[in-house]
Amino acid sequence: MSNTYPRPGKWKRILGVLVVLVALGGGLVWWTLFREPPQQLADDSMEEYFKYGSIGTEQQDGIPYWIWLVLPKMFPEYLPGPGGLASLGFGWEQGRELPVGFSKKVIGFERVGVNCAVCHSATLRETPDAAPVIYLGGPGNRVDILGYQRFLFRSAADPRFDASNILMEIGQVYRLSWMDRMLYRFLLIPATRKALLAQAEQFAWTDSRPDWGRGRIDPFNPVKVRALGVDPGETTGNSDMQSIWNLAPRVANGMALHWDGLNTDLTEVVLSSAIGDGTLPKALPVKKLTALEKWLMALPAPKFTERFPVDSALAAAGEPLFQDQCARCHAMTGERTGQVMTMDDPDWQVPGADAGGRPAHTDAHRAEMWTPESAAAYNDYAAGYDWDFDYFRSTGGYVNVPLDGLWLRAPYLHNGSVPYLTDLLEPPAQRTQVFYRGLDVYDPERVGFIAEGPDAERRGSRYDTSVIGNSNQGHLWGTNLGAEQKRALVEYLKTL
């Protein structure tokens, strides 16, 4: 049988060539945008991973490296002061490319994201001229996370955020290949701008609420908006960074986690922390985070005595006061430690202590922010994955937190409203009403970071305790002790 159409073999060849071309193109697109080689870190230690490793945030929120690098030079007016990102409290270790808490990962191209250490590493200086000492697992006392986000959003909204300007700026520090220039010009710069502007919309609710300021974030309203589809309503959840060292005894004693005890399962808290920072469920590095969880469980709380002297006779005099007045809620094995105290718990009332006409419990905003609706939505969130959330709940109270490494956890209480430990033992009306957070120069006498004076004002965020969510009321334990007893108790608390 004969026909006048091209032979089937010829069609097959044309089709074959087309398939190869499409595959090559597809391969190139995959290579340029999606290929995901393992992250290269300086070494394989967990410490290195904690400081610079990826927790998965680069996929959704990662900023192309070269854009990230030049933005502070292009838009210094959107930063709180000179010095680039350091002015937001991010700190570089000697010779490192990124600040502690930032990760660089290739997903097609190099992207910069954040990790746990951005909020969970503290710094301390003994004098204003000293170099900061970094304490991994400590509360991120200097960082202004909302300030960083607003810096990115404002830069993206600026008309100078365009391909020519950004490529010119990059050209000052690095010679991109022709391919990369094309990639940045036609894809990455416009896409980054669009993504940041869309993210700015997702954070628009922060404009109608008090600023987080340094060392604080609203930890869960962003999760409601970005992951759970829950309306934040009028809630304000501004909350002090927590320490995450020494987690093993918390787990062993079944303690509730987070300031309000909204979850009792550490694995869920670790995974949801990465999600809260912008990791998409499909990008969650579960194995890595499980290893990190183990490492954090055993990470020791740092000792005051490694840096400053303690009057041991005075501390010994303070110990029985602690045992008598504080231990049941705060000792690692106290009968109420790790449990939640709701606002109506009669235990907030301390006989003989003066609340100055205000409630004896602490500011309720953070507890009220995490609603039953939010908890239910988070428990449904992981459906379809091989990890799950089951233990989210709304408690309406605060956890009786263990006090390990307390000396480095200033400012105190869940909203960071009390700058010094000595202040917390004064009745609320006599506690500091306005101060500045974010200076890391330490005061071993009052136990906390210096929160007043020109340096603190220049480098810190103003904290006014009359602002919504910032109240320093409540927690009256110890306020009715005599001056000598307070001195002894504080000396003992330094040793925890």
Site of interaction with ligand HEC (CB under 6 A): 55, 114, 116, 118-120, 145, 217, 219, 239, 241-242, 244, 257-260, 269-270, 273-274, 277, 325-326, 328-330, 336, 341, 347, 362, 366, 398, 400-401, 403, 406, 409, 412-414, 424, 475, 477-478, 493
Q: Within 13 Å and on the Cβ side, how many CA atoms surround 430? A: 11
Nearer to ligand HEC, 366 or 459 (CB): 366
Sign of the alpha-carbon dihedral angle for 234, 238, 244, 250: negative
Closest approach of Cβ 330 to ligand HEC, in Å?
A: 5
Between residues 70 and 469, which has the closer beta carbon with respect to ligand HEC? 469
Minimum CB distance to ligand HEC, residue 233 (Å): 17
| Residue 326 beta carbon to ligand HEC: minimum distance, rounded to whole angstroms | 3
**What distance in Å separates the CA atoms of residue 89 and residue 115, rounded to the nearest whole number?**
15
Which DSSP string corresponds to 390-456? ------SEEE----TTGGGSPSBTTTT-BS-HHHHTS-GGGS-SEEEE---BEETTTTEE--SSHHH
Helix (H, G, I), strand (E, B) or coil at 213: coil
Q: Which is nearer to ligand HEC, 166 or 275 (CB)?
A: 275
Nearer to ligand HEC, 104 or 409 (CB): 409
CA–CA gap between residue 144 and residue 87 (Å, rounded): 9
Among 405, 495, 487, residue whose Cα is nearest residue 446: 487
Q: How far is the CB of 305 from ligand HEC (least distance, A)?
A: 18
Number of helices and strands (H, E) in the chain? 19, 13
* Cβ distance to ligand HEC smaller for residue 362 or 461: 362
Q: How far is CA 250 from the centre of its chain?
A: 20
Give yes or no for a contact between 114 and 57, defined as CB atoms under 8 angstroms apart: yes
Which lies closer to ligand HEC via its Cβ, residue 187 or residue 350?
350
Cβ of residue 8: shortest distance to ligand HEC, in angstroms?
57
Task: Report the first-to-last Cα separation within the chain, whole angstroms.
Answer: 95
Closest CA to 192 of 119, 112, 116: 112
Q: Please, what is the minimum distance in Å from the beta carbon of residue 376 to ligand HEC?
A: 18
Q: Computed over its alpha carbons, how large is the radius of gyration of the chain? A: 26
The least distance separating ligand HEC from the CB of residue 55, rounded to whole angstroms, comes to 5
Closest CB 252 distance from ligand HEC, rounded Å:
13
Indicate the residue among 227 and 403 with the shorter CB distance to ligand HEC. 403
Answer for the pair 152, 102: CB distance below 8 angstroms, yes or no.
Answer: no
Shortest Cβ distance from residue 164 to ligand HEC (Å)? 33
Q: How far apart are CA 59 and CA 282, in angstroms?
A: 10
183/406 with CB nearer ligand HEC: 406
Closer to ligand HEC at the Cβ: 193 or 409? 409
We find the least distance from the C-beta atom of residue 74 to ligand HEC, in angstroms, to be 24
421 vs 450, beta carbon nearer ligand HEC: 421
Residue 260 CB, nearest distance to ligand HEC (Å)?
6
Q: What is the three-class DSSP state of 462?
A: strand
Which lies closer to ligand HEC via its Cβ, residue 192 or residue 479? 479
- Rounded distance between C-alpha atoms, residue 186 and residue 306, angstroms: 54
C-alpha–C-alpha distance, residues 415 and 211, integer Å:
12
Q: Which long-range contacts (CB under 8 A, 24 or more apart) does 264-272 make?
A: 264/391, 265/390, 265/391, 266/293, 266/297, 267/293, 267/387, 268/389, 268/390, 268/391, 268/392, 270/296, 271/387, 271/389, 272/223, 272/378, 272/389, 272/392
Instruction: Spell out the alpha helix ranges (H) of 248-326.
Output: 248-252, 266-276, 286-298, 312-325
